[in-house]
Amino acid sequence: MDGLAADILESTDHDKLDESEAHEIERARCGDVEAFERLYHGHAAAVYGLCLRMSGSHAQAEELTQEAFVRAWRALGGFRGEAALGSWLHRLAVNVVLENRRSARRRSARVVSVEDPASLGKAKPESPDRTMDLERAMADLPEGARTIFILHDVEGYRHEEIAAMQGLSTGTTKAQLHRARRLLREALG
Amino acid sequence: MKCGEVLSRLDDYVDDLLAPRERQAVRTHLQTCVACRTREESLLALVKQAHDLARPVEPPSDLWPAIAGRLGDESVRRPRPSRWRRRTLPLRWLGLAAAAVVLVAGTALTTAWLVGRRTVDIRPPAGADMGAPMSASLGPEGVRLKDERRQLLAAFQARKGRLMPSTVKVVEKNLRIIDRSLGDIETALRKDPGNRDLTFLLAGTYRQELDLLRQAVQLSNDDWTGGKNEKS
């Protein structure tokens, strides 16, 4: 069987996906915007959190989150359930942030800075002080080191994955991570 | 192994990236060197703290309305064909036609599967009327689809003179095929009005039809004349 019928009947790997989510994904893949809205609401906080950590700005995080979900809508036809939707969206959002950063860098040499480092802590008032300190210290890192630190130590990507995403060697990503950790330990005392 | 050598490997040690022999050498040093062990503990604490940052954060406002607005734009706005794409337009339409046939074949088979029939005749009926009736089972979404479909059909009819005749022929042929498929689903739905899968299939097939119409209208907006204008 081929085409739309195959898309529907072949379904996705239900062993790896929540049943109801798999159903919503199938519907969204066939153009059901309401199903996609439900998927959005299930994953918005995770994607927004990632965008906020990587951009350091609420305004940018909102734009990046929107862009990530618009791209997800476009690319959903290629999603076959090999990974959980959350992981797929996470990776897609990382790519959106990195592409955005590359574009911004091309437009100007201006380094992305955090609009208000303290606001990152305010997003989660229950965060302990040490977490707020770390977020503030992260905001002061050079952009390259900051990106590698977030992708590796916060988001859990491996050096090989980060290198592929960034077009760098693993030697460079390791060096940047080492630099970020050293600067952070110095900042945190 | 000396302190300098250990400290240069401490990140990889904490990340478990060292070869077994190297890892053992670092571990042995850490058991006897308080200064290096302090650095290791500091590094482990930092990594743990960083890991704890990976938490969801609710957006301060609902971003869905803006996203939904852009999805609407995405479905309507199509990239303007480049000169290269214009030259290869017939191939695009062949692809569209093939996709439509595959779609309808798949849809018809799915309909058959859903209603328990053994086979479905997917041949386009001679002289089929373009524009199958819109099922009431789609509710408000059906009203929206119907409205958009009516507008696109009108736009296509008004501008099809700007397309190559062979292109118009392909579009109309595929619209008839899709409409035949829609008719099959509508018939099945009348027999089984509560079948949500059929309703879902119906909506998807309508959207495919709208997509075909949008592309046809977009191409007519681009004033495709088979490349004749490009030579002037």
Whole-number pLDDT of residue B230: 38
Q: Which residues of A140-158 are buried (b: 16+ CB within 10 A; e: fewer)?
A: ebeebbbbbbbbbbbbebe
Whole-number pLDDT of residue A117: 47
Task: Give the list of residues 6+ apart from residue A69 with CB closer than 8 angstroms, or none.
Answer: A40, A44, A47, B63, B67
Decide if A133 is inside a domain: yes
* Judgement on whether residues A25 and A108 belong to the same structural domain of the protein: yes
Task: Give the list of residues 6+ apart from residue B46 with CB closer than 8 angstroms, or none.
Answer: A134, A153, A181, A184, A185, A188
* Judgement on whether residues A132 and A183 belong to the same structural domain of the protein: yes
- Final residue in a domain of this structure, among A60, A83, A112: A112
Decide if A6 is inside a domain: no
CB-based contact (8 Å) between A164 and chain B?
Answer: no
Whole-number pLDDT of residue A123: 42
Smallest Cα distance from A125 to chain B, Å: 11
In this structure, what DSSP letter does residue A90 have? H
* Residue B90, pLDDT above cutoff 70: no
Chain B nearest-CA residue for A131 = B49
Decide if A26 is inside a domain: yes
Please state, in angstroms and rounded to a whole number, the distance separating the CA atoms of residues A161 and A153: 13
Please state, in angstroms and rounded to a whole number, the distance separating the CA atoms of residues B116 and B111: 8
CB of B213 closer than 8 Å to CB of B149: yes
The DSSP result for B184-195, as a single string, is: HHHHHHHHSTT-
Per residue, the 3-state secondary structure of B23-61, as one string, reads HHHHHHHHHHCHHHHHHHHHHHHHHHHHHHCCCCCCCCC
Decide if A171 is inside a domain: yes
Decide if A4 is inside a domain: no
Query: Do residue B64 and residue A153 have CB atoms under 8 angstroms apart?
Result: no
* Rama region for A31: left / alpha / beta (φ>0; ψ in -120 to 50; rest): left
Q: Which of A71-80, B77-86, B193-202 has the highest mean pLDDT?
A: A71-80
Whole-number pLDDT of residue A142: 92
- For A100, the 3-state DSSP assignment is helix
Whole-number pLDDT of residue A185: 92
Please state, in angstroms and rounded to a whole number, the distance separating the CA atoms of residues A154 and A120: 15
Whole-number pLDDT of residue B108: 54
pLDDT interval class at B192 (50, 70, 90): confident
Residues of B with Cβ-Cβ distance to A46 under 8 angstroms: 56
Whole-number pLDDT of residue A188: 87
Q: How many other C-beta atoms lie within 10 A of the C-beta of residue B103?
A: 25
* Judgement on whether residues A159 and A102 belong to the same structural domain of the protein: no
Cα-only R_g, chain A? 18
Query: Do residue B46 and residue A69 have CB atoms under 8 angstroms apart?
Result: no
Please state, in angstroms and rounded to a whole number, the distance separating the CA atoms of residues B80 and B224: 11
Tell me which of B5-9, B41-45, B85-89 is least confident.
B85-89
Phi, psi of B145 (to 5 degrees): -60, -40
A-contacting residues of B 141-200, CB under 8 Å?
Answer: 141, 200
Average pLDDT over chain A, rounded to whole?
Answer: 79
* Residue B6, pLDDT above cutoff 80: yes
Question: Count of domains in chain A?
Answer: 2
Q: Which of A55, A153, A183, A185 has the most B C-beta neighbours within 10 Å, making it the best mutation to test the interface with B? A: A153
- For B19, the 3-state DSSP assignment is coil
- Final residue in a domain of this structure, among A60, A88, A112: A112
The DSSP result for A37-54, as a single string, is: HHHHHHHHHHHHHHHHHH
- CATH code, A27: 1.10.1740.10
Residues of A with Cβ-Cβ distance to B11 under 8 angstroms: 174, 177-178, 181
Q: Which of A52-66, A102-116, A119-133, B144-158 has the highest mean pLDDT?
A: A52-66
pLDDT interval class at B218 (50, 70, 90): confident
Please state, in angstroms and rounded to a whole number, the distance separating the CA atoms of residues B55 and B52: 7
Tell me which of B64-73, B106-115, B212-221 is least confident.
B106-115
Tell me which of A113-127, A166-180, B53-67 is least confident.
A113-127
- Final residue in a domain of this structure, among A112, A145, A180: A112
* Judgement on whether residues A107 and A167 belong to the same structural domain of the protein: no
- CATH code, A170: 1.10.10.10
* Rama region for B224: left / alpha / beta (φ>0; ψ in -120 to 50; rest): beta
Kindly report, residue by residue over B159-170, the tens digit of the pLDDT: 777 777 777 888
pLDDT interval class at A113 (50, 70, 90): very low
Nearest to B56 among A46, A153, A154 (CB): A46
A-contacting residues of B 87-106, CB under 8 Å?
Answer: 99, 102-103, 105-106
CB of A70 closer than 8 Å to CB of B71: yes
* Judgement on whether residues A23 and A104 belong to the same structural domain of the protein: yes
* Rama region for A83: left / alpha / beta (φ>0; ψ in -120 to 50; rest): beta
Range of the domain at A89: 16-112
Structural domain boundaries of chain B?
3-52, 83-231
CB of A14 closer than 8 Å to CB of A22: yes
* Residue A117 CB burial class (10 angstroms; 0-12, 13-18, ≥19): middle
For the residues A16-20, what does the mean pLDDT come to?
64
Tell me which of A119-123, B42-46, B52-56 is least confident.
A119-123
* Residue B34, pLDDT above cutoff 80: yes
pLDDT interval class at B176 (50, 70, 90): confident
* Judgement on whether residues A27 and A93 belong to the same structural domain of the protein: yes
Please state, in angstroms and rounded to a whole number, the distance separating the CA atoms of residues A94 and A68: 9
Task: Give the list of residues 6+ apart from residue A40 with CB closer than 8 angstroms, or none.
Answer: A69, B64, B67
Q: How many other C-beta atoms lie within 10 A of the C-beta of residue A121?
A: 18
Query: Do residue A4 and residue B204 have CB atoms under 8 angstroms apart?
Result: yes
Whole-number pLDDT of residue B107: 55
**CA torsion through residues B132, B134, B137, B142, sign:** positive
Whole-number pLDDT of residue B82: 37
- For A61, the 3-state DSSP assignment is helix
CB of A30 closer than 8 Å to CB of A9: no
